[in-house]
C-alpha cells in the first residue's frame, strides 16, 4: 500500500513557512536593515528605502526609527560640527563666544535635529498616517528621477499605499522651526525667522533627496534592495 504520510508532512511544513512571513515582519526587517545603512560607513542614512516592496510602518516602527537616528553618535557629532561652524562665522543663533556659547550652540543644533527628526519622522507621520522614508527610484530618465527627488518634501507615500501631499514633512518643518522660539536668543526669535527657518529646512531636505537619488546610493554601505520600478510596489496584509 502507498504510504502518503511523508507527503502530508511536507505540505503542512510549506504552509507554515508561508504563513510565518507577514507584512508586519517584513516591515520590521526593512527597518532593521535600514538602521545599518551608513554614508561612508559612518553617517546614518536610515530614512531611505531601497526595497521596492512598500509596506506601511507601524507607529512603533516610526518612533523606533526616529529614536535610533536621533540618538546615533553621528547625530551628536554632527551637532558639534555645525555648532563649531556657527561659532566661527558668528551667525544665528547669536550666542556669546567662548566655551559657554559653543555649548549653547551645540545644544541648540542637537535640539533642532531632534525635533525635526521626531516631528517630521514620527509624530506627524503617525498622526497623518504617512511614511517618513524617501523611496529611492533608481531607474527611469534623469528628469523623472529629479522630479521624484525634489518633490519628496511635498509628496509622500501614505500608509494606504497611495501618493499624497506630504503634510508630515511640511507641517513638521514649520513646527520644528517654530520651536526654536523656545531656546534661541531673543534676537533670533519671531514669526519671520520661523518662516525663514522652515524654508531652509525644506530646502535642505530637497537637496538631500536629490543627493539620495543620484549620489548617496553609491556611498552608502549595507544597502539591500531589489530591482526598482518608478513607484514602490505595495504588499497588502
pLDDT digits 0-9 by tens, 71-116: 999 999 999 999 999 999 988 899 999 999 999 999 999 999 999 9
Q: Which residue has the cell 500608509?
A: 159
Burial (0-12, 13-18, 19+ Cβ within 10 Å), 90 = exposed
Peptide bond into 222 cis (omega under 30): no
Other CB atoms closer than 10 Å to residue 58's CB: what's the count?
Answer: 15
Is the pLDDT confidence value at 30 over 70?
A: yes
Summarize pLDDT for 115-162 with one digit per residue, the tens.
999 999 999 999 999 999 999 999 999 999 999 999 999 999 999 999
| Average pLDDT of the chain, as a whole number | 88
5 or 32, which is more confident?
32
Give the total residue count for the chain: 237
At 11, is the pLDDT very low, low, confident or very high (cuts 50, 70, 90)? very low
Task: Give the separation between CA 174 and CA 195, rounded to whole angstroms.
Answer: 7
Q: Could you tell me what percent of the chain has a pLDDT over 70?
A: 86
Q: How far apart are CA 133 and CA 60, in angstroms?
A: 15
Q: Where are the domains of the chain?
A: 23-234
Q: Please, are residues 5 and 37 in contact by the beta-carbon 8 Å criterion?
A: no
- Grid coordinates standing for 38? 551608513
pLDDT top residue among 190 and 16: 190
pLDDT at 208: 97
- The pTM score is 0.84
Angstrom CA distances, 9 to 3, 4, 5, 16, 143, stand at 12, 9, 7, 11, 54
State the alpha helices, DSSP H only, in the chain.
5-20, 23-34, 59-70, 73-89, 98-118, 124-128, 142-150, 167-178, 191-211, 217-219
All 3 cell numbers of residue 189?
Answer: 526669535
pLDDT mean over 185-206: 95
pLDDT at site 88: 93
Q: Which of 24, 36, 111 is nearest to 60 (CA)?
A: 24
Q: 44 by DSSP, 3-state: which?
A: strand
Residues 6+ apart with CB under 8 A from 215: none
Q: Give 31-40 pLDDT, tens digit per residue.
A: 999 999 999 9
Q: What is the pLDDT of residue 229?
A: 40
Gap between the Cα atoms of 117 and 236, Å rounded? 28
pLDDT of residue 21: 76
Helix (H, G, I), strand (E, B) or coil at 1: coil
State the Cα–Cα distance between residues 204 and 188, nearest whole angstrom. Answer: 20
Of 95, 114, 85, 110, residue with least CA distance to 186: 95
Amino acid at each position: 500500500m502507498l504510504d502518503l504520510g511523508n507527503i502530508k508532512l511536507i505540505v503542512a511544513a510549506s504552509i507554515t513557512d508561508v504563513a510565518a512571513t507577514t507584512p508586519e515582519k517584513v516591515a520590521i526587517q526593512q527597518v532593521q536593515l535600514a538602521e545599518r545603512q551608513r554614508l561612508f560607513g559612518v553617517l546614518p542614512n536610515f530614512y531611505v528605502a531601497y526595497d521596492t516592496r512598500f509596506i506601511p510602518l507601524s507607529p512603533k516602527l516610526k518612533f523606533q526609527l526616529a529614536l535610533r537616528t536621533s540618538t546615533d553618535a553621528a547625530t551628536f557629532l554632527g551637532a558639534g560640527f555645525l555648532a563649531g561652524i556657527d561659532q566661527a562665522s558668528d551667525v544665528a543663533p547669536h550666542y556669546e563666544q567662548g566655551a559657554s556659547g559653543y555649548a549653547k550652540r551645540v545644544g541648540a543644533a542637537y535640539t533642532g535635529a531632534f525635533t525635526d527628526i521626531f516631528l517630521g519622522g514620527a509624530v506627524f507621520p503617525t498622526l497623518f498616517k504617512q511614511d517618513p522614508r524617501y523611496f529611492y527610484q533608481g531607474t527611469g530618465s534623469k528628469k523623472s528621477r529629479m522630479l521624484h527627488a525634489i518633490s519628496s518634501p511635498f509628496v509622500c507615500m501614505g500608509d494606504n499605499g497611495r501618493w499624497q501631499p506630504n503634510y508630515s514633512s511640511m507641517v513638521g518643518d514649520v513646527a520644528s522651526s517654530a520651536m526654536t522660539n523656545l531656546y534661541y536668543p531673543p534676537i533670533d526669535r519671531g514669526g519671520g525667522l520661523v518662516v525663514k527657518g522652515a524654508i531652509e529646512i525644506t530646502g535642505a531636505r530637497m537637496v538631500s533627496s536629490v543627493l539620495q537619488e543620484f549620489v548617496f546610493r553609491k556611498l552608502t554601505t549595507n544597502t539591500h534592495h531589489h530591482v526598482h520600478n518608478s513607484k514602490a510596489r505595495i504588499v497588502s496584509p
